[in-house]
């Protein structure tokens, strides 16, 4: 699926100060039975977000109208566990286009980038600061600038320069995906097969 472009974003953020949020929490296995990419956003963080009987859990941040925005800020080691891309789809489909954490699991990071969801890895100290800013003001805005690779806390003015693979950056800025690239390499791949 071709991805949406990502260039720059200014938004409030939704805090999830929990560590080791694994893919079974992001989207439990029982919601992986679809054969199309549809409706995953509704089941994002399903078992935290809803009480038994499908009632929204008032204690969960996504059910609190005070919090909004398309940036999700989470504790360290986000996205560990399975390779299910449904995790990235669920986050994206629920309206997030950036996830901030001090550490991401590898497969999750790759999956996110392949779907136009930008993982921004910051230092533990910077992450603390972001959480504090949101705690003081849940409407606080942040600016994510992919071109310059900066994440800025609009309240404090402090800016963090994040890393991203240059190739992936180009893909996101332009909305390209890897499949187009690979399909265009058909001849080179055939030549490789011949020469092994």
The nearer residue to other proteins, 1 or 139, going by C-beta atoms, is 1
Beta strand 141-145 with 150-153: parallel, antiparallel or unpaired?
Answer: antiparallel
The nearer residue to other proteins, 41 or 81, going by C-beta atoms, is 81
Compute the CA torsion angle 163, 168, 173, 179 (nearest 10 deg): -170
CB of 39 to other proteins, least distance (A): 12
The nearer residue to other proteins, 111 or 133, going by C-beta atoms, is 111
CB of 143 to other proteins, least distance (A): 25
Residues of the shown chain interacting with other proteins in the complex, contacts defined by CB under 8 A: 1, 17-20, 22, 24-25, 28-30, 32-37, 47, 75-77, 80-86, 88, 103, 105-107, 110-111, 114-115, 165-168, 177-179, 181-183, 185-186, 188-189, 192-193, 196
The nearer residue to other proteins, 137 or 178, going by C-beta atoms, is 178
CB of 8 to other proteins, least distance (A): 22
Residues 119 and 109 sit within 8 Å (Cβ to Cβ): yes
The nearer residue to other proteins, 175 or 192, going by C-beta atoms, is 192
CB of 149 to other proteins, least distance (A): 14
Q: Name the nearest CA neighbour of 27 among 73, 109, 85.
A: 85
Residue linked to tokens 């941040």: 61
Residue linked to tokens 């994440």: 151
Q: In angstroms, how far is CA 14 from the centroid of its own chain? A: 12
Rounded distance between C-alpha atoms, residue 114 and residue 108, angstroms: 10
| Alpha helical stretches, state H, the chain | 23-26, 46-49, 86-93, 106-113, 124-136, 166-174, 178-183, 186-194
Rounded distance between C-alpha atoms, residue 123 and residue 89, angstroms: 25
The nearer residue to other proteins, 154 or 164, going by C-beta atoms, is 164
CB of 173 to other proteins, least distance (A): 13
CB of 170 to other proteins, least distance (A): 8
């Amino acid at each position: 699926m071709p991805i949406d472009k990502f260039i720059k974003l200014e938004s409030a953020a939704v805090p999830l100060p929990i560590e080791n949020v694994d893919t079974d929490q992001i989207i439990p296995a029982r919601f992986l039975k679809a054969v199309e990419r549809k409706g995953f956003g509704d089941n994002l963080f399903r078992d935290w977000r809803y009480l038994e009987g499908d009632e929204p859990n008032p204690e969960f941040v996504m059910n609190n109208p005070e919090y909004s925005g398309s940036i999700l800020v989470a504790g360290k080691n986000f996205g560990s566990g399975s390779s299910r891309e449904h995790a990235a789809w669920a986050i994206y489909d629920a309206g997030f286009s950036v996830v901030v954490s001090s550490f991401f699991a590898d497969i999750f990071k790759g999956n996110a980038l392949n779907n136009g969801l930008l993982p921004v890895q910051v230092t533990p100290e910077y992450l603390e600061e972001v959480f504090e800013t949101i705690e003081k003001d849940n409407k606080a805005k942040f600016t994510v600038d992919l071109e310059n690779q900066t994440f800025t806390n609009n309240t404090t003015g402090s800016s963090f320069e994040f890393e991203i693979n240059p190739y992936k950056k180009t893909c996101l800025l332009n909305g390209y995906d890897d499949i187009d690239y690979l399909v265009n390499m058909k001849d080179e791949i055939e030549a490789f097969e011949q020469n092994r």
